[in-house]
Every structure is written in structure tokens, then in C-alpha cells.
Structure 1
Amino acid sequence: MAGMTAANLRPPRRRLARVGALAGLLVTAVALLLAPATPASAHAVLVSSSPAASAVVPDGPAEVVLTFSEPVRKVAGKIRVIAPDGARADRGEPTFESTVVTVPVDPSAGRGTYLVSYRVISADSHPVSGAFTYSVGAPSTPPTDTGSDNRADPVVENGVKVAKYLGYAGLLLLVGPALVLGALWPRRLSRRGPARLAWTGLGLLVFATLAELWLQVPYTAGGGLFDVTGAGLGDVLGSTYGATHLVRLGLLAAAAFLLRPLFAGPVGRTDGVILAILGGAALFTWPLAGHPAASPAPAVSVVVDAVHLGSMAVWLGGLVMLGGFLLRRADERELGAILPIWSRWAALAVAALLLAGTVQALIEVATPTALVDTTYGRLVLAKIVLFVLVLGVAAYSRALVRRRTAAGRPTPVRRAVWAELAITAVVLAVSATLVQTPPARTAGADVAGTQVGLFTTTLSSPLYSLQVEMAPAARGNNSLHLYAYTLDNRPQPVEEWKATAALPAAGIEPIEILLLPLTDNHATGEINLPAAGEWQLRFTVRTTDIDQATVSATVSIR
């Protein structure tokens, strides 16, 4: 009677599991319908502005126009124009049209130097911030923006990386037990331990997904860990990033109903196929919310990244099951049957990892120079070195299996498995940092409108103040601009300009810089700096027939 009751209960439980899975899929479908239709694009960078950076215009513009390399989204209150007196010069809300952002500006805010600061969201969900200056009539001492801070909170930045890491860890802890329990687990062994591990993995995945949604608000808008508003959270949930995370939660909910019977005992082919489909669909939510969806070849990048992630989860999740359970609990006969199959699976997963990783690197790094000159490229190199170490340990494990010593003496294989896992734990940490780093293809770009490579300072004397600008402030040819002002910040007419550059540490005596006056208070010149070091610049400005003063500055050339 008890046996009949159990048998009769099985079909309703299966039906309940499938109904639960269907409910999770409905949540996923709703999230997909709510997802905005945005074009794929790269990590956005500012390519031009009007007025241009450091430009001097005769009259105040009625608007400042920022043009980015790809479409960007708004961060409320993070685009500001500061007048020379420190007051806000922007008027009203900026308008966003694809790659162009237009900021209304008060054209009568006065003469002098204006500061434009911005923070926007690129299509790969990462914030892009920067600042530049332009001048009306003549340059003055640049103002500072005390009312807005576009710098990212380090606690939030590190929190995002930790959440990414926990998500990866949860994925492999879920996939490994589900795969082994469904295909390789001996019937005589209890499933309780692997089931607990899998539920832990599922919990980590849900927690990491919710944490990423929460942290995305202060990460994109700037602010602390708890600077989360309803409007900010609504903006995140209404973006592609938010939609993909909601889809992931829906797929995990659907999978949870089918995982319960799998953890209790063998399941049918239909449930196994549905689980595989749900798992494959969930894998695509990672690349769709990050760099791959915004690469030059988004379709290829998304598929390759999903394959890369899935291969990682199969390989490392299987290793956890192998080292944590099978090598300790299975007998010699069972290990003799399981290990050769697992060895083939691992070889296929590693091959897929290598192929997908190579394609990813080619797309995201773009050039050999970027591989060593950018943070993204150096992280890729570190990941490659660690991966080579893992492959060496994996080859040793596979050799043990081929010699069939693992079934009789599993201890050497167990040690090799834990060595693989220890190294790959570091690989996962590098990966979590990598996905938060701007790709090398954009990090190494020469972006117009930014002040990267610009040295600027204001020097004072009893007769005048001198604003100095040098670009790109690097070895080789450099352009120099000098602006002279009276002590009450009005243009100071200059009778004669003189300038020299010296590098005493390298024995380079003062080199005269030929200066060309452009206006009565503005001169320009070109200088070739042949070596790196602390260059000493000296400027002598004669304001009348008898009045002159010399000021100096030190610029670091790398």
C-alpha cells in the first residue's frame, strides 16, 4: 500500500514541478517584453565636443554638445557646466539622441574658462565620466565643481566585483552537482551532500544577481553603498542590464522546480532536456549584460562568452563533485566507470574554454600593443598564465586516469583536483575584475575632447599669473600654450616671451622654446622632449620695457 501511494504521488509531483517551471518561464517572458530595444554598442568614449576641449571662443555658446562613440544613457544630475565664477551655467535638462548629448547653457554667464563635467552610461552598463574646459573671450583660472563628484565609490566598485565572483562560484556549484547527479552518480550513494551543495550554489546565484541589481544603482550614478533611490532602481530595472538580470532570476526559479526531483533521484529524459534548455538560456544573461553585447561583433561575442562560461561551470563544477564526493565515496568499480567518462568531458570543456577564450581576446583586445599597454590586456595575460598552470595539473590528472591508477589509489587524483580548484579560484577572481574593466579596444583609444596627457598649471609672480598648458606631456613633440593675466584675472598684454626646458638629471641643459604670440596675452610653441624624467620649465614674461619676472614649473614626462 505504501509502495502504491509513493508511485501514485510521483506523477503529481512531476506535474507540479513542470507547472512551477512554467511559472518561472512566464516571469522570464515578462522581463523580456519589458526589456528596452537598444542597439549593441561598445564601451562609449567621448570623441568630440562643441566647443572643443581647451578651445577659446569669442562669444558664449547657447549649448554644449558632447558626441560619444556610441549611444549613451542619462545619469540624473551628472552633466554640469560650471562658469568661471563657480556658478552653474547649464540651464534645464540635457537631451540625449543616440550618440549626441546637448546641454543648454546660459550664453551670458561671462568671460573666462568653463568646466564641463559628465557621467553617462554606456551600452555595456559601465559608467563613463570625464571633464574638459573651454574659454569664452580669454582663458582664466579653471573653476572647480564642488557640487558633483563623478568619482566611483571604491566600496561600490569592489562590491560589484565580489558580487560577480559569487555569481560565478554559485554557477559552478549548481551546474556541477546537477550534471553529475543526472549522468554519473552511482545509485547506491546518498544524494544529500551534492543536493545541499547545489542549493547553496542556487542561493549564491540568486543573492549575487540581486546584489548586482542593487549595486548597479550607485555604481552608475555615483554614490555610496546605500545611495539607492526608487527612481535609480527603476532606471536600472528598465535598462537592458536590469532586464537580463530579471530574466536570469526567472530562469533560476523555473529550474528550481525541476532540480528538486533531480536531487531526490533519477529524472526522466524530458525533465533533463528542459533543465538543459533553461541552463543554456541562463548562460546568455551574463554576456548580454556586459562587454560581449557591446563588442564590434556582438552576436559572435555573446555566443562565445556563453560557451566560455558554460565550459567553465561544467569543468570546475565537475571537479568540485569529483574531489568533494566521488573520489571519497565511490568504490573502485564505480570509479573505473566514472573517471574515463569524466576525463573526456573535462577535455571537451577545456577545449571549448581555450577556443572561446581565444576568440574573446581577439575581439576585446584588438591589437598586440593593447595587450600590454592596458589594464584589460594585462589581466588577460594574467588569466592566460594561470590557465596554463591549471592545464598542467589537469594533464597530470588525465594521465593518472589513463593509467587507471585513480580507481585503486584516488588520493593522487584528489590532490591534483584540489590543486586545479585552488588555481581556478584565482582565475575566477581575475575574471570578476576583467568584466568590470573597460575593454582594451576602447581603453587604448585616443579620445578627442578629454584631457588625457595634458599638463596644466597656473604660476604666479608679483607682476602677473601665467597659465601653462602642455600636450601630450610625453616623450617626443609637445605643444605649449601660455596665457598671461593680471593679478585681478584680466588679460595681461605681454611685450616679450621667453621659455626654456631642461632635464638636469640626464645632463640636458636648458633648451630654448621658440614662442609665437597669438594675441597680446597668448603665445604658443613646440618643443621636443627626448627623454623621460622631471623636466624643468622656466618662463620669463616682460610686461613693459622695464618690468619682467621669471616663473618655473616641473612636469613629469613618462
Structure 2
Amino acid sequence: MLLGALVASPSPASAHAAPVGATPAPGSIVGSSPTEVTVTFSEPISPVTGQIQVIAPDGERINATPTVQGAVLRIPIRSAKRPLGTYLVSFRVISADSHPVGGAITFSVGAPSARPEAATTTGSHPSVTLAVPTLKFLGYAGITLIAGPSLFLAFLWPRKRSRSGAIRLLRIGLALTAAATLGALGTQAQQGSGAALWQVSVSELTAVLTSQFGLLLLSRLTALALLAVLLPPLLKAHPRRISPSPARTPALVAVGAPTPVVAPPVPSAPVVVEASSRVAQFRVAAVLLLSVFGLATWPLTGHAIAAPLPAVTVTVGTVHMAAMAVWLGGLITLTVFLLRGTDRRILGVLLPVWSRWAALAVVWLTIAGGVQAVVQLGALPALWQTGYGRLLLAKLAVLAGVLTLAFFARRLVTRVTGSGASGLRRTVAVEVAATVLILGLSAVLVQVDPGRSAAAKDGAVTGEGVSETLTNSLYTLQFNIYPVEVGEYNTVHAFLYTPEGKPLPPEEWEISTRLTSQNLEAVKEPLLGLTPKHHALGSVTFPIPGTYEIAFTIRVDDLNRATVKTSLTVP
């Protein structure tokens, strides 16, 4: 229910890069069919096989294999059988942060015509839209269930409490993270193709596995497999310091144990002891390195890698996830295993230590999250003007509530008997529930366009504009106005034909605009005749939003003149 509600709010965006330019220009009219179409994006992209098309006016697909140079998509095209009319460029690519980018633009050769239909959709199937944030949530839950139990088992576990439950929770965390990673590999192709979750081919999966995204996730799976082998043996029992000299045997004390327990002397040879110690040290170092690398694969396949400062954003992204996993994972471990059934004297030693660690984790969580927010928002207004910013505000609001609960929980740490212990358990349980909500918000947030991309999307090119055909007894007029927005830079292309459809070079062109909601005179503008002579070019100004009457007055010869009219709405 939680994820369903989150996914129903701002839906995950299907684009994180944005098309910012194209040749031919969107909505433009050119004299002859080009041999290549280029689309420029706001960040580097990679093409999705089979999902980049150029459709001719008669519906024929005319593109060859596209190529990519950084942020520029180049699409070679062949001459169409019927070259005159409107062409559709439909694209679906993968942005630098591994998210799909879909869209379409148009241009015309000679004169506009009816827009052809693309062979495939550029949107994401609902099953994929739901599956992606769900898998993100499961992955985040998995790493918290790895970090929390591991931390407590290594440093804070009471000697007399069974470790089997915490070890089992750790294994569940490993399994959840692996399942989420496999799911991400299995849905990446569908994000690119727009197909349903169950519609994927072997060739598409192969392409995903050999991509940078796929190689990083395969590396994460390898790290998880190694952790599954190395971690449990290290955490099944307290590590003992082995000394060759009985006189120097240290006292080993479990956290909260009432009396120290002295380890018996071990009559092992010094060489054996040293080798055992080195093996343990190697395992610990390997676990730490694998953990850091595994965590880094998330920002390396997300917003962070496409940000203006990738080295900084990947680093703080890794720190952010580590701090989150330690904090939330520790809370879950406390709630499930330790706050009930543990002697109050042991809790009196354990909880203050955990409280300090949790506070440190929150400090790093806040610092890393602040840096991420500054980079990804780009500007302060994006905090309330974009879906990303509003989701971030919701996450911060919940986090503020959790920190308030954590403050009261710290005060209860010193009172772990009677009603104090009961209040602590309730407070921590609510804290866990709230932080699970934060995980859900995070799972959706990483799928939404970051605020910094709002400017790029605002300037994204589209095929929008107005194309229409007007007729009377003297002629047929086809025209296009682009982009139809407030201001003076609205380009007009006009093409004149006889009623039978043959090119008709006129003697004079004129266009006028009149805002219908006000009693104003029409504003007349000339149109410049071009070659071919039945083609004219000009511009019109729309000073304010509203509905305008557009009138074309055309003199076809010395005696015959006629006016045709239509209306359009300027947003």
C-alpha cells in the first residue's frame, strides 16, 4: 500500500536528459529531404536498439542505424518515396544516469502534411512504472538489513543472546538486495523499449548485461555473493584475541556482561596464531571494501553520475546510503531482537553506545543529503516548483519527525526500566515505521527528474506548433506557425496551391493577427516570397496569451485576391 500510494503521486519520470536541439529544427520546413537527422540532449546518452525511427510522410520508416557522440544522436536517413510533407522523428535513448528518455519531434519538407504515426510508443508500460520503484525500495531495505545486524553482531551483541535471528535477518537482507539487483537488470530493457514487464528478448537482456549499467550491477551481485560467504563466519561468535603467552591473555567482555570472562590460554604456536590473525584481518578488510564498492554502485547508476560534479555526488551518495543503512538497520535490529528480553543492565551499557553511533550516522546522513540536494536541485525555486523538489520536501518533513522521535528516544535511553523501557520500545517502533516511509519516498525520488534538469526540460525541443490547410475557390493554402508562444519569434511558413493541388506562385502575400477578446485592429505583417515561388516566410507577434484570428490575404494575379481565416490559442 505504501509503494502504491507513492507511485500514484508524482509518477516516475521517463526522462532525465532532455532534447535541447535538433537538425532540422523542430517544426521547421526545409526545401529538400535531409540525409541525416541529429538530436542533441542535455547530457550524454546511449541509443536503445530498434527504438529510434524516422517516419516519412507516407508512413515509411527511412532511418538507418543511428550513432551517438556524447550527447548528440545522429540518424542517417534515405530518400523517401514521397518526400514532401511532415516527417516524424521518434526516439528512445538511455541517459547517463541509466534512465530512459523518450520523445518525438517533427519537421516538414516542402509543405506540412498530416503527422505520421510512430511504429512504437515512447512511454513506459504501467507494469514497469510500478516495478522500478518497488525494486528500488527492496534494494534499500536489503542494505539496511545487512548493515544493522552486522554492526550489532560485530560490536554490540550481548553474549547470552542468540545470534541466529540476526544472522537470518542479515541473509534476508543479502537476498533482498540480490533480488532487487536482478530485477533492475530484468527491467532495464523494458524501460528503454516501452514494453511490458514480461516482454523482453534474449538479445535485449544481452545488451543490458554488456552495458555500463549491466556491468555495474553484475559487479554488485558479485560483491553480494562474496559478502554472503565472508560475513556470517565473522559474526557467528565474538572474536577472541589469541596470545601465545598465558600471562598476557586479555579479558574479553561482552557488552553489558556483568563480569569479565577470561579467555583460557591457548597453547598454539606463535606462527599459527599470527596466521589466524592475518586471515581474520584480511576478511575484515575484504568485507569493508566490498561493502563500500557495493554501496557505490547505486549512485554510479543513478542521478549522481550525471550531475555536474560526479566525483562529489557519487561520494556523498555512497556516504548517504551507508549512513541511512546504519541508522535504520540498527533501529530495526534493536526493535526486533534486543529491546525485549535483554537484561536492563546490559541495555544500560548497550543503548548509550548505540545512541552515539546513531547520532553520528544522522550527522553524516544530513551532510551528504544536503550536498546532494544542492547539486540535484540546481536552484532554490526548484524546491517548490518541481516534482523532485516537492518530494524532497516531503522526505525532509518525515525526517524532521523521525529526528524529533530520536531526540526523545535518547532521553529514554537513561531510563530503561519500567515505563521508560516500554516508552523506548514504542518510540523506536514509530521511528522505524517513519524511516521505512523515507525509504519509500527515496525509491520514488530517484526515478523523478532532478530539479537541475528542469531548465533543460523547459528548453527541450518539441514538434509543437500549428499546421493547417485553408481553402477557397481561388487557392489552397498550407501553413505552419512555430512555436506559437507569447513574443515576436513565431515563424510562419506558407505554401500556396491551386484547388487541384498544383504549386501556385502568387503576386502578393500578407498575414494579419487580431486578438479576438479585445476590440483591436488587426496587426498586418508581410510574408517574403521564397524559392520555390509558391513558398513564403515571415513571423508574427503574440503580445499576450489568448485566442487570435489569423488571416492570410493573397493576391494570385492582378485581378484576383482572397482572404482565408482561422484561429489559434496562444498559451
TM-score normalised over the length of structure 2 = 0.81
* CA 1:55–1:551: 2 relative to 1, 3 Å: closer
In 1, the alpha carbon distance for the partners of 2:501 and 2:179 equals: 56
1:73 aligns with 2:88: no
In 2, the alpha carbon distance for the partners of 1:394 and 1:292 equals: 29
1:391 aligns with 2:364: no
Partner of 2:267: none
Q: AA paired with 2:51?
A: K
1:156 aligns with 2:128: yes
In 2, the alpha carbon distance for the partners of 1:338 and 1:477 equals: 71
* CA 1:266–1:467: 2 relative to 1, 3 Å: farther
Conserved in 2, the CA contact under 8 Å of 1:118 and 1:129? yes
In 1, the alpha carbon distance for the partners of 2:185 and 2:520 equals: 57
Partner of 1:253: 225
* CA 1:281–1:52: 2 relative to 1, 3 Å: same
Partner of 2:447: 436
In 1, the alpha carbon distance for the partners of 2:28 and 2:360 equals: 57
Partner of 1:64: 37
* Equivalent of 1:278 in 257, 276, 290: 290
1:551 aligns with 2:566: yes
Cα deviation for residue 265 of structure 1 reads 2.3
Conserved in 2, the CA contact under 8 Å of 1:181 and 1:262? no
* Equivalent of 2:149 in 138, 162, 177: 177
In 1, the alpha carbon distance for the partners of 2:503 and 2:549 equals: 21
Cα deviation for residue 476 of structure 1 reads 5.7
Partner of 2:527: 517
In 1, the alpha carbon distance for the partners of 2:90 and 2:493 equals: 24
Unaligned runs of 5+ in 2: 1-14, 241-279
CA deviations on 1:310-334 (whole Å, 9 max, x unpaired) are: 0000000111112222111212101
Partner of 1:22: none
1:211 aligns with 2:174: no
Cα deviation for residue 530 of structure 1 reads 3.9
Unaligned runs of 5+ in 1: 1-41
* CA 1:164–1:449: 2 relative to 1, 3 Å: closer
Q: AA paired with 1:87?
A: E
* CA 1:435–1:500: 2 relative to 1, 3 Å: same
* Equivalent of 2:357 in 345, 349, 360: 345
- Structure 1 segment 129-528 matched on structure 2, within 5 A: 129-136=102-109, 138-262=110-234, 264-267=236-239, 270=281, 271-401=283-413, 404-408=414-418, 409-445=420-456, 450-451=461-462, 454-458=464-468, 464=476, 467-471=479-483, 473=485, 479=490, 481=492, 483=494, 495-502=509-516, 504=517, 508-509=518-519, 512-519=522-529, 522=536, 524-528=538-542
Q: AA paired with 2:85?
A: G
Cα deviation for residue 128 of structure 1 reads 1.7
CA deviations on 1:92-119 (whole Å, 9 max, x unpaired) are: 3123333333222224542222221111
In 2, the alpha carbon distance for the partners of 1:491 and 1:323 equals: 81
Q: AA paired with 2:208?
A: V
* CA 1:323–1:457: 2 relative to 1, 3 Å: farther
Conserved in 1, the CA contact under 8 Å of 2:223 and 2:294? yes
In 2, the alpha carbon distance for the partners of 1:392 and 1:468 equals: 59
- 2:528 aligned counterpart, secondary structure: strand
* CA 1:425–1:456: 2 relative to 1, 3 Å: farther
- 1:139 aligned counterpart, secondary structure: coil
When the two structures are aligned, how many residues end up with a matched partner? Answer: 502
Q: AA paired with 1:292?
A: A
In 1, the alpha carbon distance for the partners of 2:562 and 2:39 equals: 43
Q: AA paired with 2:384?
A: V
Q: AA paired with 1:244?
A: L
Cα deviation for residue 176 of structure 1 reads 0.9
Q: AA paired with 1:377?
A: G
Q: AA paired with 2:105?
A: F
* Equivalent of 2:21 in 32, 43, 48: 48
* CA 1:444–1:207: 2 relative to 1, 3 Å: same
TM-score normalised over the length of structure 1 = 0.83
Q: AA paired with 1:307?
A: V
In 2, the alpha carbon distance for the partners of 1:241 and 1:456 equals: 40
In 1, the alpha carbon distance for the partners of 2:522 and 2:144 equals: 64
Q: AA paired with 1:120?
A: V
Q: AA paired with 2:408?
A: Y
Cα deviation for residue 528 of structure 1 reads 4.3
Which structure: larger Rg? 2
In 2, the alpha carbon distance for the partners of 1:421 and 1:191 equals: 21
In 2, the alpha carbon distance for the partners of 1:497 and 1:255 equals: 73
Report the identity percentage.
38
Cα deviation for residue 489 of structure 1 reads 6.5
Conserved in 1, the CA contact under 8 Å of 2:43 and 2:306? no
Conserved in 2, the CA contact under 8 Å of 1:480 and 1:527? no
Cα deviation for residue 272 of structure 1 reads 4.0
In 2, the alpha carbon distance for the partners of 1:470 and 1:220 equals: 30
CA deviations on 1:237-291 (whole Å, 9 max, x unpaired) are: 1111111111111111111122332453224663444333322221111111112
Conserved in 2, the CA contact under 8 Å of 1:82 and 1:115? yes
Cα deviation for residue 204 of structure 1 reads 0.9
